[in-house]
Amino acid sequence: MTTRGAPGGPRLLLRRLREVMAEPVNAQARLDRIVVHIAANMVAEVCSVYVLRADLRLELFATEGLKREAVHQTTMRSGEGLVGLIAKTAEPLSLNDAQAHPAFSYRPETGEEIYNSFLGVPILRGGNTLGVLVVQNSVKRTYSEEEIEVLETIAMLLAEMIASGELQTIVRPGAEIAARRPIALKGSAVADGVGLGHVVLHQPRVIVTQIVAEDTNRELERLGESIEAMRANIDQLLDDDGSLGDHREVLETFRMFANDRGWLRRLREAVSTGITAEAAVERVQNDARARLQRQTDPYLRERLHDLDDLANRLLHQLTGQALIAPPETLPDNAILVARSMGPAALLEYDRRRLRGLVLEDAGNSSHVAIVARSLGIPTVGDVANITSLVEQGDSIIIDGSAGEVQVRPQPDVEAAYREKARLRARRQEQYQELRDVPAITRDGLKINLSMNAGLLVDVQHLQETGVASIGLFRTELQFMLAPQFPRLEQQYALYRQVLDSTPQGSVTFRTLDIGGDKILPYMQTFEEENPALGWRAIRIGLDRPGLLRTQLRALLRAGAGRRLRIMFPMITMVSEFDAAKVLVEREIAHLSRHNYDLPTDVKLGVMIEVPALLWQLDELLERVDFVSVGSNDLVQYLTAADRDNRRVSERFDVLCAPVLRALGMIAQKGAASGTSVTLCGEIGGRPLEAMALIGIGYRGLSMSPASIGPVKAAILAMDAGEVAALVQDLIAQKDGAPSLRGQLRAYAEGKGVPL
Ligand code: PEP
Ligand code: MG
């Protein structure tokens, strides 16, 4: 038996439902009418809607055919009974003898024992289950493919009703529907700060409101035209130029999907059921999402994102809406939510209206994270699935220091975070008061604090923090943000501006540190099994001397008439420093031949990031003017734990004997040879770690601007001599403890050192 003989067929049903959606009645009356229409049209004796609540129970919200008293009374757990099974698997279930199914669970209050056949579909949105829609018949019948599809289409209408919050008004008192429930999510801490505001999706979803088609042939044409246009667009991007780098792979995947027969067939079949092209894209995508989300294979899950992006492109193509939210229409208190995003895109938004940033796919070391930190935008990264868990305009709170995200928070949670934000602001004011206080320990030891920077916007932090110098200027950021290799003049202009804004102090420019995770989209890349151990930083600079020489020339010209400091990253052998130095000398000779003004003094230094240098310290310190420890990389190589892989990056504590012994050795040898040793990795910016570093002999630390206040406050409260004795004692112990953190923390707390 099929619906072909049903009164009016699916088209008429969808039209009726559209009328019901527009009627000015309350949510319960609307749902009641919907189930009546469905049952009548599909010649079913029963039609019921179950909605998933925040406590993960499915509540019967409306029924035609079951006992009315059961509405808002009958509930079941997700996974329990046939309805629960559909919610859990997010897949339709069609049975001609439901009671014989092992998952069947009998509910006497509904009176459903007389029904044998059963068809249920999940109500999905963004791949998440919001509820279940069911029809039942007493005869043993087999539902047709067409009926399943019609029911899935109706489920989309219901998804919109649920997600909009309309049904929240009729849920059983005290309960909450899942789609609007508060959610607490954990990600990685990317940029400090607490932000309260409302969700702005960087790539807003197209909300498909027109689900029922007026003219199916026209919809098939629209679908065909849009797919053609999208394909042409992708082909053009691929043909445009050969330097797409990483993007090429993504686009190739897009092209593969866009030509995928199965995908195209499913889209056309969906349109043939009487829905619009947009609704078809959403429905097919919902199914794909539900299927792929359960995949554990990371490769397949990655494909889900590609497929999502493609469906999104197609929806935008169909509706003519812009793919990216127009940055100029940003509301106040915006918290931007993005799957991933390029650093340039972030810079386009109005900073004054941005209260925070949440990223699904990008972590601490992504380029956008670096820019967010520079701009002081509280940011949380690696938040799984966030883009499908929020709706545009939802209230949201983020804590960038703890890596926490609260979606649709309850009032008490919101109050707690407001308090946190207030405390933070108060603390910032206290740091502000320390701005002009020199960083001297209680026993009179002066510590030189400087800041890390990489963008011109960073320079403003010199004023705010009161430090005079930039201890690490990451020159690669300009390269990472630019659409193509910055030319000599552009490099020169940036370096000049940076030097102009630091008249009192010095700037240590680090030459290009690209490769590894720092990829230039326009530079040809090579597939590397282990990019962190691959062709990067000075290795590229020495192999492509043209690149390095251009940069050195720009630096030397920018430093005309003043002191210039240049530092080389990832030096492994002292001979690499010698080779780099030769390039500097050649550039100096070239510039003076052409009558350029030169810096009054050029100091050359090396970053200690590769363990091999620890056994060349004598010859290294003899050659260089200064060294700076890049503890981010040095620790990752010492412990063989990828700094960007969350599974291992927190496995070992930097405050352990082996790391502190290695770092201590560098400080001692530096002091003995009279060569300046500083440290510019992230650990220098954490008060407890900074205390330990001072204890093992560090006198200069360079850190992100936000860390200056907290580290200075700790320095002012500590006694360096006492700390040195404690740390020396702890690292000399032979008990094999994996961490000294507990003892150091206990000491600091006992002495009132603020952490
Ligand atoms: C480091 O490795 O510690 C460092 C400061 O360099 P980057 O974080 O840029 O690799
Ligand atoms: Mg490094």
609 lines ligand 1 (CB under 6 A): yes
Measured by CA distance, the residue closest to atom 3 of ligand 1 is 630
Q: Which of 470, 632, 644 to mutate to test the pocket of ligand 1 (most atoms within 8 A of CB)?
A: 632
Identify residue 657 by its one-letter amino acid code: A
Residue 559 Cβ contacting ligand 1 at under 6 Å: no
Q: What residue type is 324 in one-letter code?
A: I
Could you tell me whether strands 334-338 and 354-359 are parallel, antiparallel, or unpaired per DSSP bridges?
A: parallel
Instruction: Give residue 165's pLDDT.
Output: 81
Q: Are 380 and 190 in contact (CB under 8 A)?
A: yes
Quick count: other Cβ atoms within 10 Å of Cβ 333? 16
Ligand nearest to the CA of 370: 1
Q: How far is ligand 1, taken at its centre, from the CA of residue 632, in Å?
A: 5
Ligand nearest to the CA of 678: 1
Pair type for strands 75-77 and 188-191? unpaired
The enclosing H or E element of 27 equals helix 27-41
pLDDT value, residue 243: 45
Q: Which helix (H) or strand (E) holds 184?
A: strand 183-186
> Quick one: average pLDDT of 383-399?
91
**Residue 60: strand pairing partners:** 50
Q: Is the CB of 474 under 6 A from ligand 1?
A: yes
Tokens standing for 187?
A: 């990600």
Q: Percent of the chain, pLDDT > 90?
A: 62
Report the nearest atom of ligand 1 relative to the CA of 609: 2
Say how many Å lie between the CA of residue 613 and the centre of ligand 2. 14
> Given the CA of residue 634, which atom of ligand 1 is nearest to it?
2
One-letter identity of residue 391: E
Give the pLDDT confidence of 29-57 residue by residue, as tens digits.
Answer: 999 999 999 999 999 999 999 999 988 89
**How far away, in angstroms, is 631 Cα from ligand 1 center?**
7
Binding site membership of 633 for ligand 1 (Cβ less than 6 Å):
yes
The mean of the pLDDT values for the chain is: 90
CA distance 140 to 143: 10
Question: Is residue 336 within 8 Å of residue 385, measured between CB atoms?
Answer: no
Closest listed residue to residue 670, CA positions, set 733, 622, 713: 622
Structure tokens at 482: 């630019």
Task: Give 184 Cα–ligand 1 centroid separation in angstroms.
Answer: 32
Residues with Cβ within 8 Å of residue 240, at least 6 apart in sequence: none
Q: Which domains, from first to last, does the chain contain? A: 9-180 (3.30.450.40), 199-204+329-418 (3.50.30.10), 216-319 (1.10.274.10), 428-447+609-755 (3.20.20.60), 469-565+572-604 (3.20.20.60)
At 676-699, the pLDDT tens digits run 999 999 999 999 999 999 999 999
CA 154 to chain centre: 34
Q: Which of 511, 536, 567, 609 to mutate to test the pocket of ligand 1 (most atoms within 8 A of CB)?
A: 609
- Residue-wise burial string across 316-331, b where 16 or more C-beta atoms lie within 10 A, e elsewhere: bbbbeeeeebebeebe
Report the half-sphere exposure of 30 (CA within 13 A, side-chain side).
19
**What mean pLDDT comes out for the span 375-383?**
93
The predicted model scores a pTM of 0.75
Residue 508 has pLDDT above 50, yes or no: yes
d(C-alpha 142, C-alpha 265), whole Å: 24
Q: Distance from CA of residue 403 to its chain's centroid?
A: 11
Q: Whose CA is nearest to atom 9 of ligand 1?
A: 474
Instruction: For residue range 53-100, list pLDDT tens digits in order.
Output: 988 899 999 999 999 999 999 999 988 999 999 999 989 999 999 999
- Which pLDDT score, from 0 to 100, does residue 244 have? 45
The pLDDT tens digits for 102-116 are: 999 888 888 888 899
Residues 619/593, Cβ–Cβ less than 8 Å:
no
pLDDT digits (tens, 9 = 90+) for 636-654: 999 999 887 777 888 999 9
Contact 571, 607 (CB under 8 A): yes
Separation CA 546–CA 336 (nearest Å): 40
Nearest ligand to the CA atom of 518? 1
Name the one residue in this structure whose structure tokens are 């989209």. Answer: 521
Look at strands 404-407 and 601-608 and give their pairing.
Answer: unpaired
Q: What is the pLDDT of residue 8?
A: 65
Q: Amino acid letter at 424?
A: R
Query: How confident is the model at residue 301, as a pLDDT?
Result: 66
| Pair 115, 138: CB distance under 8 Å | yes
Average pLDDT on 474-494 reads 91
Q: Known catalytic residues?
A: 367, 680
CB 693 within 8 A of CB 645: no
- Residue closest via CA to ligand 1's atom 1 equals 630
The neighbouring-strand residues paired with 201 are 337
- Distance in angstroms (rounded) separating the CA atoms of residues 245 and 247: 6
Q: Which ligand is nearest to the CA of 663?
A: 1
Contact 378, 195 (CB under 8 A): yes
Residue type, position 450, single letter: S
Q: Is 367 in the pocket of ligand 1 (CB under 6 A)?
A: no
Beta-sheet pairing, 563-568 with 395-399: unpaired
**Residue 298 CB partners (closer than 8 Å, separation 6+):** none
CA of 407 to the centre of ligand 1 (A): 33
Residues 6+ apart with CB under 8 A from 526: 535
Instruction: Please list the residues that pair with 46 across neighbouring strands.
Output: 136
Cβ of 684 below 6 Å from ligand 1: no
> Using a 6 Å cutoff on CB, does residue 681 contact ligand 1?
yes
Q: Is 632 in the pocket of ligand 1 (CB under 6 A)?
A: yes
Q: What is the greatest pairwise CA distance in the chain?
A: 99
Q: What angle do CA 152, 153, 156 make, to 5 degrees?
A: 95
- With cut-offs at 50, 70 and 90, classify the pLDDT of residue 5: very low
Query: What pairs with residue 94 in β-bridges?
Result: 119
What average pLDDT does range 261-274 have in this prediction? Answer: 86
- Does the CB atom of residue 508 touch ligand 1 within 6 A? no
Q: Nearest 10 degrees: CA dihedral of 483, 485, 489, 495? A: 90
* Cα separation values, 562 from 194, 455, 555, 597, Å: 41, 21, 11, 10
By C-alpha distance, which of 308, 303, 313, 302 is closest to 237? 313
Q: Which of 424, 430, 439 minimizes the C-alpha distance to 718?
A: 439
pLDDT band at 517 (very low <50, low <70, confident <90, very high): low
Residue nearest to atom 8 of ligand 1 (CA): 632
- Spacing, Cα 531 to ligand 2 middle (Å): 13
3-state secondary structure of 363: coil
Closest ligand 1 atom to 630 CA = 3
- Given ligand 1 and candidates 366, 513, 539, 703, which is best to mutate, with the most ligand atoms within 8 Å of its CB? 513
Is residue 128's pLDDT more than 50?
yes
Gap from CA of 93 to ligand 2 centroid (Å) = 54
**Nearest ligand (C-alpha, residue 628):** 1
CA distance 403 to 229: 40
CB 86 within 8 A of CB 93: yes
* Residues 608/627, Cβ–Cβ less than 8 Å: yes
**What is the chain's alpha carbon radius of gyration, rounded to the nearest angstrom?**
31
Residue 385 falls in which region: left (phi positive, over 0), alpha (psi -120 to 50) or beta: left
Handedness of CA 359, 377, 430, 465 (dihedral sign): positive
3-state class of 471 per DSSP?
strand
> What is the pLDDT at residue 251?
65
Q: What average pLDDT does this structure show over 212-224?
A: 91
Mutation choice for ligand 1 from 474, 638, 704, CB with most ligand atoms inside 8 A: 474
Q: What average pLDDT does this structure show over 467-473?
A: 96
Taking residues 316-324, report their average pLDDT: 83
Burial class (CB in 10 A: 0-12, 13-18, 19+), 411: exposed
Whether 630 is in the pocket of ligand 1, judged by its Cβ within 6 Å, is yes
